[in-house]
Amino acid sequence: MFLDEFHTPAGGRVCISAEQASRFAKGVAGDYNPIHNPDARRFCVPGDLLFALVLGRFGLSQRMDFRFLNMVGDGTPLCFQEGDDGRIRVCDEGGKCYLEVERSGEVTRDEAVVEAFTRCYVAFSGKNFPHYLKPLMEAQGVMFNPRRPLVIYDSMGFSLERLDDLAPALELSNSSLEVNGKRGDCLLEFRIQSGGEPIGIGSKKLVVSGLCDYDPAAMDEIVAEFYRLKAAYEG
């Protein structure tokens, strides 16, 4: 399974090291958010890696909704389990819940289909910044704190008409940023196609904290650093 190198089984639980999480963020998602760097002061495991591990363990359902409740730190032992209420929860040994998933409809555990959908969504999701967020913030005249950029994964969900013969492709259909003081709620809506045929829709919500006035020069530096990190990693 392609996710094997990004987590370590440990006594019935799963541990994700900062190095594994960072490699997934950069290598699979194309996500260079500094919060996923192993040496980050507020390091956290990418939500998309938890998303991928849920699909790998429980399969791909026609309808799924993910709520990210807390940030996972370096090496935290995690338990992936389905409760009596049908919800999937990712919790630590103390019962703290990091992710809650609701699902319905048919399920496929076909590894090729699950991997294709996982890779497709994660690659789309990894484009949060600068592709989607920068123009939204610029239009609203706000941006995150350039010294402490904080963009948190709040939730995501999708609905698929079918699961057979899936060759998924995702494209952004709509985006918005609602500003409330120093907080911004970003909604990214997407279409899901297979072989050019529409087969589903979905959306993702992000929370941008510590908003300040938009500074074109500071934003240009952040974008330049993003592409510098990308080139260094890929080179």
Mean of pLDDT values over 109-116: 95
Q: How far is 5 from 28, CA to CA, in rounded Å?
A: 12
Phi, then psi, of 119 in degrees rounded to 5: -60, -40
Q: How far is 76 from 44, CA to CA, in rounded Å?
A: 10
Length reported for the chain:
235
Contact (CB, 8 A) for 186 and 159 = no
Phi, then psi, of 161 in degrees rounded to 5: -75, -30
| Residues in Cβ contact with 183 at an 8 Å cutoff, skipping those fewer than 6 apart | 207, 208, 209, 211
Give the residue extent of every domain in the chain.
4-234
CATH of domain 4-234: 2.40.160
Contact (CB, 8 A) for 137 and 128 = no
What are 90-112's pLDDT values in tens digits? 999 999 999 999 999 999 999 99
pLDDT for the residue 11: 87
What are 120-144's pLDDT values in tens digits? 999 999 888 899 999 999 999 999 9
CA 149 to chain centre: 16
Report percent pLDDT > 70 for the chain.
100
What are 45-73's pLDDT values in tens digits? 999 999 999 999 999 999 999 999 999 99
